[in-house]
């Protein structure tokens, strides 16, 4: 499949894993994302500030976590324009250690198939340290 080829809707089954990936986040990733997004809240790069507001340490931006989580589905779909909807609920923070960083793991499974519209709902399981960090993470992909 090239980057322009879509998966075949007719070949999909509910429960089928369509993508899996792990993403390494580092403090450098957080600084780069802060620059790109304009979100320079110090809880994303300074332990002392994060701890002063009751956090265990520096945490990844929620939108960064959301962005990396959808990437395996975008890659699988072959074209970001095929993503027609993407929603998540933030359930836990991703703490990014100064030296070790953090790994966010994503498993994408077909959750539902709409034959009339050829839209596949892909459900994401997004974890950090074995715990779910995004709940109700669902991506709707048009495979017309």
- At 107-136, the pLDDT tens digits run 999 999 999 999 999 999 999 999 999 999
Mean pLDDT of the chain: 95
Q: Which two tokens stand for residue 128?
A: 């950090």
Position 6 confidence tier, pLDDT thresholds 50, 70, 90? confident
- Give the C-alpha separation, 90 to 87, whole Å: 10
Is the pLDDT score of 3 beyond 50?
no
Q: Cβ distance 64 to 128 under 8 Å?
A: no
Q: How high is the pLDDT of residue 1?
A: 42
- Quick one: CA dihedral 143, 104, 24, 28, positive or negative? positive
Quick: pLDDT tens for 50-86. 999 999 999 999 999 999 999 999 999 999 999 999 9
**pLDDT at res. 4:** 53
């Amino acid at each position: 499949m090239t980057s322009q080829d879509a998966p075949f809707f007719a070949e999909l089954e509910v429960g089928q894993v369509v993508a899996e990936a792990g993403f390494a986040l580092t403090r450098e990733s957080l600084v780069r994302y802060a620059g790109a997004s304009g979100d320079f809240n110090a809880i994303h790069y300074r332990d002392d500030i994060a701890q002063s507001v009751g956090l265990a340490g520096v945490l990844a931006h929620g939108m960064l976590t959301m962005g990396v989580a959808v990437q395996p589905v975008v890659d699988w779909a072959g074209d970001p324009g095929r993503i027609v909807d993407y929603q998540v609920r933030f359930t836990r923070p991703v703490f990014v250690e100064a030296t070790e960083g953090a790994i966010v793991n994503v498993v994408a499974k077909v959750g539902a198939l709409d034959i009339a519209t050829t839209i596949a709902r892909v459900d994401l399981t997004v974890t950090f340290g074995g715990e779910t960090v995004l709940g109700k993470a669902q991506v709707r992909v048009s495979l017309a």
